[in-house]
């Protein structure tokens, strides 16, 4: 053992993988071991640093429950969720389809199914109202009817509903079904920039790297329709000051939209017109 060169030691660990593993697992584990070993060699990782990293992983678990996924949050700070999103969605066949963006840690399944045009805001007087509307289309330009458009956003206090005991269940979340012309519409609040939770390991990472925790104002979308690839994305407010420094690196130019002032007398302060283009299966 001791007389093995460092690189030969890595080969020993990779060589210990048995024959009954799957090809994909072998590929993943081989590369992971190689990169972990190269990392430790490159930075000459010390024992205290190694133990601090293990403690960090333990605290990620301790900080997590069904309302908070600190593992996603910590990996977001490293840009990993956005990188995986990019790798998974950059194929040329996507053509004119709407670009994706990361799901993030605050998605919830089974939010209320609401009539088109209704509001996801449950009470509260804060915030500016916005009407978000558009069509869901295939890349061929044909409307997609019966698409399920799920949306979610933070409240004006910067918290998603499940982070905040003072908000009603499923506040600022809802699902809408497109009509026969592919139209969807919902009322919401103009989102605000807000800090990702920084009271745990993800926050420590930001502090260690001298970075701010803010995400630009965004509304999340998850669009599902029979015959099409699911689309997970976000829209961003063109007026936001953090578009170029999103703490989780999720902004794409094509996802930046205008919150247009509504005409005087309208029952909303702002309007966003936003068509969504899906890629067929």
Residues that bind ligand MBD (CB under 6 A): 73, 76, 102, 104-106, 196, 215, 248, 250
Q: Which does 102 bind (CB under 5 to 8 A by kind): ligand MBD, Fe ion, none?
A: ligand MBD
| Smaller CB separation from ligand MBD, 104 or 127 | 104
Nearer to ligand MBD by Cβ, of 105 and 138: the residue is 105
Choose from Fe ion, ligand MBD, none: what does 144 bind? Cβ within 5-8 Å by kind. none
Distance CA 146, CA 77 (A): 36
Report residue 19 as tokens: 């024959």
Indicate the DSSP class of residue 217. Answer: -
**187 versus 222: smaller Cβ distance to Fe ion:** 222
- Binding residues for Fe ion, total number by CB under 5 A: 1
- The least distance separating ligand MBD from the CB of residue 270, rounded to whole angstroms, comes to 20
- What does DSSP assign to residue 119? B
Q: Nearest CA to 208 among 68, 56, 80?
A: 56
Nearest to 147 by CA among 22, 280, 2, 7: 280
Residues 170, 141: contact at Cβ < 8 Å? no
Q: Answer with the entry of Fe ion, ligand MBD, none that 182 interacts with (C-beta below 5 to 8 A by kind).
A: none
Q: Which residue is nearest to ligand MBD (CB)?
A: 104
Using the structure block, give the residue that is written with the tokens 């994305």.
233
**What is the residue whose two structure tokens read 């949050």?**
73
Q: Cα-atom radius of gyration of the chain, to the nearest Å?
A: 22
Q: Which is nearer to ligand MBD, 190 or 215 (CB)?
A: 215
No. of helices (H) and no. of strands (E), the chain: 6, 12
> Is 182 an interacting residue with respect to Fe ion (CB under 5 A)?
no
Q: How far apart are CA 45 and CA 37, in angstroms?
A: 10
C-beta of 98 vs 247, nearer to Fe ion: 247
Q: List the x/- string, 96-125, binding to Fe ion by CB under 5 A.
A: --------x---------------------
Which CB atom, from 72 or from 130, has the smaller least distance to ligand MBD?
72
Nearest approach, Cβ of 104 to Fe ion (angstroms)?
5
Restricted to residues 214-233, the positions that interact with Fe ion (CB under 5 A) are none
Task: Quickly tell me which residue has 């029979």 as its tokens.
Answer: 226
Which helix or strand (DSSP H or E) is residue 185 part of? strand 183-189
Q: Which does 186 bind (CB under 5 to 8 A by kind): ligand MBD, Fe ion, none?
A: none
Whole-angstrom distance, CA of residue 130 vs CA of residue 274: 12
Minimum distance from residue 268 beta carbon to ligand MBD (Å): 23
Q: Which residues of the shown chain bind Fe ion in the complex (CB under 5 A)?
A: 104
């Amino acid at each position: 053992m001791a007389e093995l060169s460092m690189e030969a030691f890595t080969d020993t660990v990779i060589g210990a993988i048995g024959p009954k593993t799957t090809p994909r697992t072998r590929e993943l584990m081989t590369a992971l071991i190689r990169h972990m070993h190269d990392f430790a060699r490159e930075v000459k990782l010390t024992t205290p640093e190694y133990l601090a990293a293990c403690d960090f992983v333990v605290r990620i678990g301790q900080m997590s429950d069904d309302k908070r996924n600190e593992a996603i949050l910590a990996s977001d700070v490293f840009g990993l969720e956005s990188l995986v999103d990019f790798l998974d969605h950059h194929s040329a066949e996507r053509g004119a389809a709407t670009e994706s963006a990361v799901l993030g840690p605050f998605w919830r399944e089974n939010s209320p199914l609401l009539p088109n045009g209704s509001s996801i805001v449950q009470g509260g007087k804060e915030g500016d109202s916005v009407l978000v509307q558009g069509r869901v289309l295939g890349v061929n330009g044909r409307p997609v009817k019966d698409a399920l458009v799920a949306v979610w956003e933070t409240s004006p206090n910067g918290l998603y509903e499940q982070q905040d005991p003072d908000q009603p269940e499923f506040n600022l979340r809802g699902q809408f079904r497109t009509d026969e012309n592919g139209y969807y519409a919902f009322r919401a609040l103009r989102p605000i920039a807000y800090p990702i939770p920084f009271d745990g390991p993800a926050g420590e990472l930001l502090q260690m790297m001298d970075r701010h925790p803010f995400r630009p104002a965004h509304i999340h979308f998850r669009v599902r329709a029979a015959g099409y690839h699911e689309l997970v994305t976000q829209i961003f407010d063109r007026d936001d000051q953090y578009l170029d420094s999103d703490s989780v690196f999720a902004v794409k130019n094509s996802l930046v939209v205008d919150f247009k002032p509504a005409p005087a007398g309208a029952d909303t302060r702002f309007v966003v017109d936003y068509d969504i283009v899906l890629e067929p299966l």
